[in-house]
Every structure is written in C-alpha cells, then in structure tokens.
Structure 1
Amino acid sequence: MKDYREIPQDALYIIDTLEQHGFEAYVVGGCVRDMIMGRTPNDWDITTSAKPEDVKSVFKRTYDTGIQHGTVTVIVDTEHYEVTTYRIEGEYKDSRRPESVSFVEDITLDLSRRDFTMNAIAYHPVRGFIDPYNGQKHIKEECIKSVRDAKERFTEDALRILRAVRFAAQLGFKISDNTIEGIKACKHLLANISKERIRDEFIKICMSDSPEAINMLYELGLLEYILPEFIKAYETPQNHPHHIYNVAQHTLAAMKHTPKDEVLRLAVLLHDIGKPLTRTTDAKGIDHFYNHPEKGADIAKRVLKDLRLDNQTIKEVTLLVSLHDYHLRKKINKFYIKQILKVTGEELFDKLLIINEVDAKAQNPDKYLEKEKMIQIIREMKEEIVANEECYNLKMLKVNGGDLIKMGITPGKAVGEKLEELLTYVMKHPEANDKATLEKHIQESAQAI
C-alpha cells in the first residue's frame, strides 16, 4: 500500500474542502485498488455525500460530466477530477445502464453497486478504508470476485463480463469460481452491448502483459460475441515441420512477444486468421495454407470494421496481414524489398519486420536461427536502401508528370504508365535516379520504338 501522501494534493484538497462544508468524501475504486497493489493510479476518482449541486456550489471551476448519474468534474489548476455523489441504481433493462439513479448518504450502499470487490473500496487519508466486501483480502489473494451476486452484477451491465477477463489479463489475477459461473450464465447478454464498448475492453486485453487471456475468452464462450472468426483457429492444427502449435496457440505465443503497439498487436492477432479456411494436407500428411495472407486480409478488414476500428488502423493492419509472409514468396534482393517499401512505407515496413520476428519465435524453435538470419539480412538491406536514399516510390523519383509532358508525352494515362516504368527502372538501377539520366533514358526508349 502506498502512503496516503501519494494521493495528489489536488485530490486531498477536494476531499478536505468538501468535508469543511459538512460532507463526506473519499477516493474510491480503481485508484484505491492500485494504491493497495503498489501501482501508480491513472485516475483519481472521488465519491462524496454531497449532491451534484452542492459540489458545484463548493468549487468555482466545474463542469457536468454525467450529471444525471451524479458526476461533476472539478478542475484544480490544470487537473480534472471526477466527483460522484453516493448513489444506488434502479432496474437495468438493457444490460447496459440503469433506468434510474438515487442519491444516498451511506457510502456502503454506493460501494454495493460496484462490479468487483477489489474496486469496491474507499479510502480516506484520516479515517482509512471502507471495505465492506473484503476487497483488500481478495487483492492479496489475487482474486477477482463480484460484489454480492455475480449474476446480478452481470445482468446489470454485461460488459462487466469482459472487464473481469481484462482485469485478469492486466493484473495477473484469477477469477473466482462463483464469478466464473455468473459469466457463463450471463454471457448471452453481451449481445446487448455495443461493439464500441466490446472493442475497447478487447483491445485492452490484447494490449495487456497477458494477451493469452484470449484463451479465457474462448474457454468461457465469449469469443462468439467479439471475434467469432478466431474460434476456428483453435480447431486448426499445423502439421508442418516449421510449427509446433495449432493456429490459435501459435498466434497467442506470437502476441506475447509483440511490443504494445495497437496496430502490431492486432496484426499479429489476425495474421493467420485465414489459415482455417485455406488448410490442405498433402500425401505425406503435411499441412499447407496457400494464399492464407490474402484470405486473412479480407477477414481482418471485415472483423475490424465490425469492431468499429478507425479507418487508418484497419488499413494498416489489413496491409500487414496481407504481406506478413512476403519474405517467403520470392528470393530476397533489394529490388524486392523496394517493392514492399513502395506499398508500406518505411514505418510500416519496420512493423512488418517485427511481425516476421515474433511469428518466427512462435514457430518450431529448431528452425528459428535460420529465420532470424534471414530477417536480419532483410533489415540490413532496408537500412542500406534508406541510408543511400535509394528510390522506391514516385515521390522520390527525380522527374514528375510535368517533366514528361514537356518531353512530349501525351497528358493522361500515358504519363502515369511512363512514371511507373521509370520507377521500376530506378528501383533496379538506383544510380539512374537523376533528372538528366532519366530524360536521356526516356529519349532512348522512344528511339528504340
């Protein structure tokens, strides 16, 4: 447990000011949990017996955040703190939000509506902890346990089901047996939750230290509501000398090695999503997955749109999935690397190299060294291309469409075709990327015709 003096002075000021005006106030929820665990909280939430109008009258700088639910944001200097009135909630009819909220004066009633015991703890710098559901004990036991009845909590807001798995992934905790039973009984209610809310929790699982928690989503039957296409990956073996896992376990092993970059983690998650639909087995019993990157890119685009990812993320992830085995398709040389760079650009190419690395690490370890050497050769080629400013896209070409028109090439389609022809020539002959040389090349080509 961190010393209470670790609580920001601004938060202490808010608590003290409210209490000087005759109200109670505590820090509450995730920040208290993190303090107990010795973690640095991201946010400091404050709960109080003061009604929203009281909070607004006490502090000069406020704005309504969720006034209907009792939340007012208080601004101290440049920091913003959410201050929420003790409340209980009415009936939930849509598995998402209560029909009504009632303000109360007893903090234990407020804590009774929270999701998990580890989040149902309040702390006061003088009075200490309010912990009616043994949250401190469960934190010590590294256990995620629902407040009161699990089925009731998940029926109120089914997203709590995914929050349980997300907390397990982020904190390394287990989920209690009765909470697991509640998840199984209520999982169908996830159909009522918006894709955006589901996406946000799923991304946090993917970005955690334990992305293999996706196994828990599979085992509990939750993937059906998030990424049903990945279920088949668990049923797809890879009988091949280069593999030791089925498609799903290979994917999660690769994710474990992947840096915490959203595009990278999603690209690795989906890089082999096309394998279940492309698996064939030859006469020797060896599996093959021809064209699985292209098939996988189509699936990735569809599922990412379904999860409401932004267009740029969808574009980058889909491209990485489609190209992730480029190094296995052709003989590696600088011209081929430039062809890939032309499509990806330098930044995305570097991510492609990372995918190559983590993909190889999650395959047969006996084959890793040879793959590592090949990836290093590719990296050195790419770095040499960049260091020498060798041309691999039209922007780098030393002539443009206007230059070609001046040389007599008819405006329109012919200009574009000639630029592409010149780009290919320069990619093979980098020393030729000079305006005079290219103009001479165009003239010689015209004479040859």
Structure 2
Amino acid sequence: MQLAQLPEEFIGAQPILETLEHAGYEAYFVGGSVRDTILGKAIHDVDIATSAYPEEVKALFKRTVDTGIEHGTVMILDHGTGYETTTFRTESGYQDYRRPDEVTFVRHLEDDLKRRDFTINALALKHDGTVVDLFDGLADLKAGVIRAVGNPEDRFGEDALRMMRAVRFASQLNFAIEPATLAAIKDHASLLSKIAVERIHEEFVKMMMGSAAHRGMGLMIQTTLADYCPGLVGHTIDLSTIATLPKLRMASEVEVWAMVALHLGLSYPDMVEFLQAWKTANHIIKDVNLALHLAYAQQYHQVSDQVLFEMTPDTITAGSHVAQISGYGPSDLNLWQDAYAKLPIHDKHELAVTGADLMHDLNLQPGPAIGDTLDKLIAAVIKQQVTNEHTALLDYAKDNLVKDSTK
C-alpha cells in the first residue's frame, strides 16, 4: 500500500528520513501517527525508527538532544521542530510488568516491530508513502479489530498497561478486540495492580473520552480490569449502567469523573477520597465537585439560582452534559448557562460590601457573624431581594439581618 498524500507533519520530517537513508540506513515513520494517517485522522506526534544507532544518528545531524539515549532515542532538531528518532531495538526481562530490564539495538525493522503492542500500531511508513505491514495491521484496520502482535499473553506479560491501551483503542476507534487478545486480557487482568495508578488514570480518562466509550466501559467490566482500578471493585452494576448509556462520550476529565461519581452515588467526601486514590489533580477534584453538585441537582430537580451561583461556566457545561447523557438534564445544554449569565453576581467578590464595611457601618464585631451576614447578603442579591449596591446592601442588612443576629 502506498499513500498518495502525506500529512504536513510527515512532509516536514521527510528530510530526516532521507538523510538517514542517504547515509545507508533504514528509516521509517512508526507508531500511532501511521495508524491515524491511514484512518484519515489528525496526527500529533511524529515518531521515527531507524537502523542507525544513536551515535550514528547524532553524527548525521547538527542539533540533537539525548532524550532517552539509553533506550535508543535521540531528538533531532530541525527548523524549530523536534523529531524523536529511535534505533530499532528488542526488549527483554520485564520484571515490573511495564519497562524492559534490557534493551538491545538491532538493524532489522521486523525485530523492532514485533515487540510492539498491537498490529495496528506495528505499521511503518517510508518517506515516499509506502506502508510496510509485517503483521497484517492493514487488514485489522480495515476490519476494525485490535489484535496483539504475536502471542498476546507474552505482550501483556511484558507490559500490563497494554491491556488498558487495548480497551482505550476499542473506545477511541470503535474497534472490537479479537478473541485471543480479549481472552489474554481476562487471564492477565490482575497484573494491572502492578502498574502505577497515574498510568492507569491516563488510559481510563482517554477511554472515557473516546467515541465509543460505552464499548470501553463494557470491556472494562467484561475483562474484570475494572476490579483492579481504584474504588471500582464491587461496582459492576453501577458501571454497567454507564456502559448502557447510548451517547456516552465525555468532553473533559472533569466530565469523566463526574459521570463515574454520579453513577457510583458518591457523596462529596467519598468523591474526594475516590479521586485522590486515582491520583487526580486537586484543581480537577474541585471542578468535579461542582459539576457533580449540578448533576445531582438536575437529577432531583433542585437546580436553583443559588446552586448556579456556586458554579463556573465550565462546570455548568460539564455537569449539564453528564446529567443529560444520564437522562436527567434538559435537552438544551444552554439552559443553565443562560440562567447563570442572568445572575446579578457570579462571585462573592462582586458583592458591593465587605466585612470591613459591616464592621464600620453596622458596628458588627469581628467573628462568625460577619461571614454569616455576607452569605445572607449574597443570597438576597441572587434572589433579587436587594440590588447589589453599597447603600442598598447596608440598609438591607441593618433592617433584615443585623437585628435577627441580635435576637
């Protein structure tokens, strides 16, 4: 197979391959960028594999960086762009079920490709657009199948994260996992416990953001991979509900975790503990809390201006999308955004009086009463019981709040 048109990213890197070939070495584009190019998808990273050893690569190019030279990877800098170029290699001794204990540089492309995870990722592309397919990856791409290269049990024993990658690709590409590969995932699912949570986290989020996320979640359950993810064991029924949602596709990490937390029925403290176990960033946890709050409010028809005030535009979008997919939200995702936009204020700092004003003008003493009064003023402004003006707020507080606090 020869591609008639290469994407601009490959065209820009063609001189790298040509330089290596003119020096007597083999060089190819490899990895997911080749797969995605054939599928007509946008590509992001351009990876190059070559028969040249690292020192031979460095001798051919003026500007290089040793980004992973112990594994054969050198970054070639060309006109402001960096291209990771890796020597053909074999790997052995995966004692941690993730990284090889030993890497050996080799001269033959087949030796390099046969160590890769799936046939659809074991394709190589020459600078002229010729596709090198040694493991029937093109046939699997056409059939929509994810198949391990060689013996799947060996591939998953080498790197247990590949099981999550299989499920992630099934979601992103809407492909099926072929029977032998699927059976090997089931047999080796427990090895996922050997993998760092951060890596599982990355694959899970990508899976949930895939175009066929329902398929990915179904495979997580079917293979029992879910049982080896933080906080998911014992939640098969809850996860199965997610897997049956027809329009399941999350637009952000916040939506991913809000969706999972909603269907697991997690309270705020439980949600925080759950996401901390997944090594989730604190700012994501904060936004998930807001999105989840709005999703629950929609589920129980309790959305109010006060609830919306606590949100941000992004968390309104996330919470509304999660609720809508789950069958709770309105069909118009702009409904709550429009209501939010109409609020008199959107942040407590927009209130036209401060605690210092209350102490100076109303003779309130420092303490909890200050915060309580400010909260009540915010609620009154949101309910449009008083305008957000300095004098009006002080008069409202004096007539309605300060007297109440002294009773």
Taking structure 2 as the reference length, what is the TM-score of the superposition?
0.89
Deviation at 1:130, TM superposition (A): 2.8
Deviation at 1:427, TM superposition (A): 2.8
Note the 1:401-416 alignment, pairs <5 A. Answer: 401-407=355-361, 408-416=363-371
Hey, what does 1:217 align to over in structure 2?
220
Aligned residue among 291, 312, 329 for 1:345: 312
- RMSD over aligned CA atoms reads 2.6
Amino acid of the structure 2 residue aligned with 1:216: L
Deviation at 1:218, TM superposition (A): 0.5
Q: 1:298 to 1:442 in 2, by over 3 A?
A: closer
Greater mean alpha carbon deviation, residues 225-234 or residues 186-195: 225-234
Hey, what does 2:354 align to over in structure 1?
400
Greater mean alpha carbon deviation, residues 177-186 or residues 205-214: 177-186
1:305 paired with 2:307, answer: no
C-alpha contact (below 8 Å) 1:296/1:322 kept by paired residues: no
Hey, what does 1:50 align to over in structure 2?
52
Deviation at 1:180, TM superposition (A): 1.6
Aligned residue among 391, 405, 408 for 2:345: 391
C-alpha contact (below 8 Å) 2:90/2:112 kept by paired residues: yes
Hey, what does 2:325 align to over in structure 1?
358
Structure 2: distance between partners of 1:233 and 1:418: 46
Deviation at 1:220, TM superposition (A): 0.8
C-alpha contact (below 8 Å) 2:290/2:315 kept by paired residues: no
Structure 2: distance between partners of 1:148 and 1:329: 51
Amino acid of the structure 1 residue aligned with 2:326: D
Amino acid of the structure 1 residue aligned with 2:100: P
Amino acid of the structure 2 residue aligned with 1:263: V
Q: 1:437 to 1:127 in 2, by over 3 A?
A: closer
Hey, what does 2:91 align to over in structure 1?
89
Query: Secondary structure at the residue paired with 2:182?
Result: helix
Q: 1:433 to 1:214 in 2, by over 3 A?
A: same
Deviation per CA, 1:41-63, whole angstroms, max 9, x where unpaired?
Answer: 22221111111112122112221
**Identity %, equivalent residues:** 32
1:3 paired with 2:1, answer: no
Amino acid of the structure 2 residue aligned with 1:394: K
C-alpha contact (below 8 Å) 2:94/2:100 kept by paired residues: yes
C-alpha contact (below 8 Å) 1:255/1:269 kept by paired residues: no
Query: Secondary structure at the residue paired with 1:271?
Result: helix
C-alpha contact (below 8 Å) 2:309/2:340 kept by paired residues: no
Note the 1:117-136 alignment, pairs <5 A. Answer: 117-126=119-128, 128-136=130-138
- Aligned pair count? 400
C-alpha contact (below 8 Å) 2:299/2:323 kept by paired residues: no
Taking structure 1 as the reference length, what is the TM-score of the superposition?
0.81
Deviation per CA, 1:239-262, whole angstroms, max 9, x where unpaired?
Answer: xxxxxxxx4444334483555222
C-alpha contact (below 8 Å) 1:24/1:48 kept by paired residues: yes
C-alpha contact (below 8 Å) 1:218/1:231 kept by paired residues: no
Deviation at 1:35, TM superposition (A): 2.5
Amino acid of the structure 2 residue aligned with 1:260: A
Q: 1:303 to 1:121 in 2, by over 3 A?
A: same
Note the 1:140-151 alignment, pairs <5 A. Answer: 140-151=142-153
Note the 1:219-298 alignment, pairs <5 A. Answer: 219-229=222-232, 231-234=234-237, 247-254=238-245, 256-274=247-265, 295-298=266-269
Hey, what does 1:240 align to over in structure 2?
none
Q: 1:303 to 1:106 in 2, by over 3 A?
A: same
Note the 1:359-378 alignment, pairs <5 A. Answer: 359-360=326-327, 372=330
C-alpha contact (below 8 Å) 2:89/2:104 kept by paired residues: yes
Structure 2: distance between partners of 1:206 and 1:372: 22
Deviation at 1:13, TM superposition (A): 0.6
Hey, what does 2:65 align to over in structure 1?
63
Structure 1: distance between partners of 2:10 and 2:244: 39
Q: 1:127 to 1:324 in 2, by over 3 A?
A: closer
Q: 1:146 to 1:341 in 2, by over 3 A?
A: same
Deviation per CA, 1:383-442, whole angstroms, max 9, x where unpaired?
Answer: 35633x513643222111221222122233332222223223333335432212222234
Query: Secondary structure at the residue paired with 2:29?
Result: strand
C-alpha contact (below 8 Å) 1:88/1:104 kept by paired residues: yes
Amino acid of the structure 1 residue aligned with 2:335: R
Deviation at 1:84, TM superposition (A): 0.3
C-alpha contact (below 8 Å) 1:206/1:266 kept by paired residues: no
Structure 1: distance between partners of 2:206 and 2:318: 20
Amino acid of the structure 2 residue aligned with 1:379: L
Hey, what does 1:195 align to over in structure 2?
197
Deviation at 1:296, TM superposition (A): 3.9
Structure 1: distance between partners of 2:313 and 2:31: 43
Aligned residue among 392, 399, 405 for 1:437: 392
Amino acid of the structure 1 residue aligned with 2:263: D
C-alpha contact (below 8 Å) 1:28/1:47 kept by paired residues: yes
Structure 1: distance between partners of 2:222 and 2:6: 42
Q: 1:133 to 1:402 in 2, by over 3 A?
A: same
Amino acid of the structure 1 residue aligned with 2:221: Y
Structure 2: distance between partners of 1:5 and 1:345: 42
C-alpha contact (below 8 Å) 2:164/2:200 kept by paired residues: yes
Structure 2: distance between partners of 1:355 and 1:134: 39
Query: Secondary structure at the residue paired with 1:325?
Result: helix
